[in-house]
Structure 1
Amino acid sequence: MNNKQRSLLAMSVFFACGAQSAGFQVAEHSASGLGRAFAGEGVVADNASVLARNPAAMTLFDKAAFSGALSFVDPEVDVYDVQNKEQSSDIAPTQIVPAAYYIRPIDEKWAWGVGLFSNYGVATDYPTDISAGDMAGHTSLKSVNLNPNIAYRLNEQWSFGLGLNLVYAEAELTRHLGELSYFNGKVPSDKAIDMTGDTFGYGWNAALMFELNENYRVSLAYRSAVDLDFDDGTFRDYTGKYIQNGQPSVTGKLAVKLPAIFELSGFYQLTPDWAVHYSWQRTDWSSFTELKATSNDCKDGVCFEKPEHYKDNDRLSIGATYSFNSDWTFRAGYAFDEQAGKPTLSIPDSDRHWYSAGVTYQWTDNLSIDAGFALVMSEKGNFTEKGSGAAAALGERRFESTGKAYISALQLNYQFN
């Protein structure tokens, strides 16, 4: 049942092909961070968006602060079916990623804050009539994380933070017959299956920050894995092959694990005008081992099952900030995002290179505006994949993928009196 297996996979993961981070991770949390390729994102603390990476940094704020950001992700991802000589162009639609943050000091020791953002998401749309329609089609996963936090300053050097992650996710997918249509007299664009569902998940995050002096600080942050249990998803079978007793749809159960994230961030003020930043992010992709959906109404109780071949991946970034004057600040950064999973048609994962630049304009004493831009280049991928059912007799098919993405972001920051 590989067509359904790949469908579930694509429901959960796509942006690996170059639009964002490895697997289905979302990095776009702020416009200021985008301008430096998110280097030092957990400790720069130039606005409230630092909350997305490190709650301990809330102790750096002496006034209440708000940040709201919109990121625009425009991927250009193409996949070529070598055997059938079919090109699927621009398979990833443009996405808008919103985020909002609020931080409020309680006293000299304590602070609290709340963030609303996403750590994981996906969108992809292959042509309906391609030969590989049983392996790729329309997919969408939207998730939002409500993240309340508390922070405590132990002394001049050490601060700690702790938070709760409340994650809501919606998923949708459609797959078509593709080459399977050659065995039943139908056309490739006829539907094979579709699936929809939504769920809530819960996790936690913790962080610490060390300030050597006013010019140098470093942080460690951890965000736990989140289990998403789609217990009431609707699975529709248009072929009559996967659901027993001839039912058109059933309620299925599906578990998807959002991996844990560990991040080290550093900030160093070289001169009054220049600062440098760095980050190392490690994502626990090795915990993502299989995708399995079950229902008593599916044959043998399993609607689909697929093992995954993932490993923990690293993201390394470095950036710089230049304060031109009291009104204008400029940023630049570079990041290397390591491939996490074995490439497939649904996930043509590869190494990515980020090239970023950004600017801040201080509109008033309390209000500033950030803008950021990044070009994300994916290394060319080559991989093979085998069809399902009768299409398996055709053997493995070979694919090539190329991709890049243009990411831009705008952000408003307000500091309350």
Structure 2
Amino acid sequence: MNKKYLTLIITAAMATVSATAGASGYRFGSQSVSSQGTAEANGAEAADASTIFANPAGLSRLEGRQLMTGLTALVPHSTYSDSGSTRFTGTTTGGQKLQDEYAPKAVAAPSLYYSHKINDQWTAGFGSFVPYGANLSYDWDWAGRYALTDMKLTAIALNPSVSFKLNERHSFGFGVTAEFMKASLGQNVDVPGSVAASQAAGTGAALIRQIVALGGNPAALRSISDGRAEVEGKDWGYGFNVGYLYSPAPGTRLGVAYRSHIDHNLGGGADWDFSTVTTDRVVNGVIEAASHHEDSAALVKLRTPETLSINGYHEFDAQWAGMFDVTWTRNSRMQNINIQFLDTDNGDLVIRQQWKNTVRVALGANYKLNERVMLRAGIAHDEAPVRSDALRHAALPDSDRNQLSFGANWKLSPKSSIDVAYTYLDFKEASSSYKNDCRPGLLTCTGNGETTRGSWQTHMNLLGVAYNYQF
């Protein structure tokens, strides 16, 4: 089974979540430390340069030149319990049934925002952030190894923006996004299952005769092991975002923000390795030839979903402010993913996703403790795009989650401050009965034909810190 297929599924999935600060899927977790403190409910607050991500119209509220640089660390805890994964032959895959800490102990992502007020009407800005990411590393002998063993996804977005202030009530914003994504994926190839199936079908004798004719030792088949597939892909894609901010009264704002889809042509290479299937080189060569898999270039065309956010902000008094955000993500763009193996006879590897559109709802509050300290808090509920257990793949064992966040802003001086934030994400138990519709031996498609049955339990902690400076 080709690894490239997975590289692009993850790329696609994660791109799906790149559009919103609170999306599920492959979202990294936070694109701004100040917004993290309110569970990303503060899209209409526009208090610092990170409004470039949430709503570029908010740039019109910023004075002078402002810089924000931050770092967010994600600390996950994940476990998997297998409940009967099988090969395409219907027999058990064997392997480890329990997986603990298959996610890294910690992952960190930087963010950078800058705004420059040009005059009373125009303000420009630039944002750079990590829109999504993933890093999974299961044991190579786990029960679901024919679906996935390891996957890493990294991405970065560059987002120059500009805002126009029509008057004290109406502001508009526009930005262009250049998005780079890179993904790698590995999985085992079910050689033992393929050999067992050939023997059961009565073609095993021909395989043995071929091995003997080439000087190999067919006895090596008695201790046969898995093959390996590795794939990488990368691409730049481009899109835009727009925003509108309405201020009916001082201290009250309503915002609308939209991020467009981004088209990606993920290109890379697929590598197959059968060199350690047995201890006999001749046997390995025969098996590799029989697999009909060869190293090649690979391509997947993707269109990421767009998002639409509606948010509000209101100052109740000199100390308290409340806010909300509702974000809709068009995840239904993610149907089946076809991975093409260029210049080969191998059929496409098809990943069934069939994602559903999702809604994220967040509520937040600010409390001004004194002239130097602002406290923040927020809660959110985020839907997962996965439609059912039968469509939940090991590369994205996602589920609905609830979020609780706390944060603070501490003024160091009239021109500088520090933001800190903590978030706890609790995921609903995620079960899978995903079956690959292809199987080894077919030229019309690529796949191991495995069925992954099990459940994931996950929770995450996010820690963020940012420095702000006004020139």
* Same fold (TM > 0.5): yes
3-state DSSP of counterpart to 2:50: helix
Q: CA deviation at 1:63?
A: 1.4
* CA deviation profile, 1:208-255 (whole Å, cap 9, x unmatched): 110011110011000111111123x01112259899997742111112
C-alpha spacing 1:396/1:292, structure 2 compared with 1 (3 Å): closer
Q: CA deviation at 1:373?
A: 0.3
2:67 maps to 1:31: no
The answer to whether the 8 Å contact 1:14/1:124 transfers is no
Distance 2:229 2:450 in 1: 22
2:77 maps to 1:58: no
Matching residue of 1:272: 318
3-state DSSP of counterpart to 1:9: helix
3-state DSSP of counterpart to 2:52: helix
Whichever of the two has the greater Rg, that structure is 2
Q: CA deviation at 1:393?
A: 10
The answer to whether the 8 Å contact 1:122/1:140 transfers is yes
Provide runs of 4+ in structure 1 moved above 3 Å: 1-8, 10-16, 179-191, 239-248, 390-397
Matching residue of 2:115: 103
3-state DSSP of counterpart to 2:57: helix
Distance 1:154 1:394 in 2: 59
* CA deviation profile, 1:299-340 (whole Å, cap 9, x unmatched): 25x341223211110110001110000111111110000121
Matching residue of 1:89: 100
2:308 maps to 1:262: yes
* CA deviation profile, 1:358-402 (whole Å, cap 9, x unmatched): 111100110100100000000112221235625999974421111
Distance 2:39 2:56 in 1: 20
Distance 1:285 1:253 in 2: 21
Matching residue of 1:112: 124
Matching residue of 2:371: 326
2:463 maps to 1:408: yes
Matching residue of 1:249: 295
1:270 partner letter: F
2:271 to 236, 248, 256: 236
Q: CA deviation at 1:163?
A: 0.8
3-state DSSP of counterpart to 1:204: strand
Q: CA deviation at 1:278?
A: 0.5
Distance 2:344 2:251 in 1: 61
C-alpha spacing 1:15/1:80, structure 2 compared with 1 (3 Å): farther
2:181 to 159, 163, 169: 169
User: Which is further off, 193-202 or 363-372?
Assistant: 193-202
Distance 2:448 2:298 in 1: 29
CA RMSD of aligned residues (A): 2.7
1:398 to 433, 453, 470: 453
2:439 partner letter: G
C-alpha spacing 1:373/1:183, structure 2 compared with 1 (3 Å): same
The answer to whether the 8 Å contact 2:14/2:27 transfers is no
C-alpha spacing 1:64/1:283, structure 2 compared with 1 (3 Å): same
Q: CA deviation at 1:90?
A: 1.5
Percent of aligned pairs with the same amino acid: 24
2:385 maps to 1:340: yes
2:470 partner letter: Q
The answer to whether the 8 Å contact 2:4/2:270 transfers is no
The answer to whether the 8 Å contact 1:134/1:180 transfers is no
Q: CA deviation at 1:56?
A: 0.4
| Higher relative strand content | 1
C-alpha spacing 1:30/1:354, structure 2 compared with 1 (3 Å): same
1:322 partner letter: Y
1:133 to 128, 145, 161: 145
Distance 1:91 1:39 in 2: 31
Matching residue of 2:414: 365
Q: CA deviation at 1:34?
A: 1.0
C-alpha spacing 1:255/1:218, structure 2 compared with 1 (3 Å): same
2:166 to 150, 154, 158: 154
2:243 maps to 1:207: yes
C-alpha spacing 1:289/1:347, structure 2 compared with 1 (3 Å): same
Q: CA deviation at 1:156?
A: 1.3
Which sections of structure 1, spanning at least 5 residues, go unmatched? none
1:295 partner letter: F
Q: CA deviation at 1:191?
A: 4.4
C-alpha spacing 1:280/1:243, structure 2 compared with 1 (3 Å): farther
The answer to whether the 8 Å contact 2:4/2:233 transfers is no
The two structures have a TM-score, normalised by structure 2, of 0.80
C-alpha spacing 1:386/1:237, structure 2 compared with 1 (3 Å): same
The two structures have a TM-score, normalised by structure 1, of 0.90
Paired residues for 1:2-41 under 5 Å: 5-6=5-6, 8-10=8-10, 12-13=12-13, 21-40=23-42
Matching residue of 1:379: 428
1:48 partner letter: A
The answer to whether the 8 Å contact 2:185/2:231 transfers is yes
Matching residue of 2:200: none
Which sections of structure 2, spanning at least 5 residues, go unmatched? 17-21, 85-93, 196-220, 275-284, 442-446
3-state DSSP of counterpart to 1:48: coil
Distance 2:328 2:289 in 1: 40
C-alpha spacing 1:251/1:109, structure 2 compared with 1 (3 Å): same
Q: How many residues align?
A: 409
Distance 1:294 1:55 in 2: 38
